[in-house]
Amino acid sequence: MDNCDLEKLSVDGVQLCPEFRPEVTLYTAAVPSSVRRVRLHMTTSDCAASCKILSGDRSGTVQLEDGLNRIDVEVIAEDGTAKTYSIQLTKLSASAARLTELTVEGHQLQPGFTPDLYEYCCTCF
């Protein structure tokens, strides 16, 4: 079979933007400076397919550097067809300023604003 989709992709303690959907291959997220590593969880749509993190270890743990970290997950279908899902995960600086409020006039943030959350989605079109 040529199904190289992920059924599930998540990162412990991190909200991906947009929310995971098998047809979307690029995600963004941010974590506080105190986070040193993250753990990914993924499940292929086809049990004959395989997946691996191209950076990190076999346990699904990825060490983070300050700033932008690109995490690529490769899925290979039984027939060799491949697809790569990418997460652009930003580890914020310890000196990053904190917001007390964030609004986009006429639109709603997903999820709602909280000072400890660093990444939001907003559909403006």
65-96 pLDDT, tens digit each: 999 999 999 999 999 999 999 999 999 887 75
pLDDT band at 11; cut points 50, 70, 90: very high
One-character DSSP codes across 40-89? EEEEESSTT-EEEESSS-TTSEEE--SEEEEEEEEEE-TTS-EEEEEEEE
Q: Which fold has domain 6-91?
A: Immunoglobulin-like (2.60.40)
Cβ neighbours around 112 below 10 Å, total: 9
- pLDDT score of 44: 96
For residue 33, give Cα distances in angstroms to 8, 42, 69, 72, 101: 26, 24, 13, 21, 20
**What's the one-letter identity of residue 16?**
L
Q: What is the pTM of this model?
A: 0.76
Instruction: Report the percent of the chain where pLDDT is more than 70.
Output: 95
- pLDDT score of 98: 73
Strand partners, 39: 61
Q: In what order do the strands lie in the sheet with 67-76?
A: 26-31, 82-91, 67-76, 50-53
Of residues 19 and 116, more confidently modeled = 19
Residue 5 has pLDDT above 90, yes or no: yes
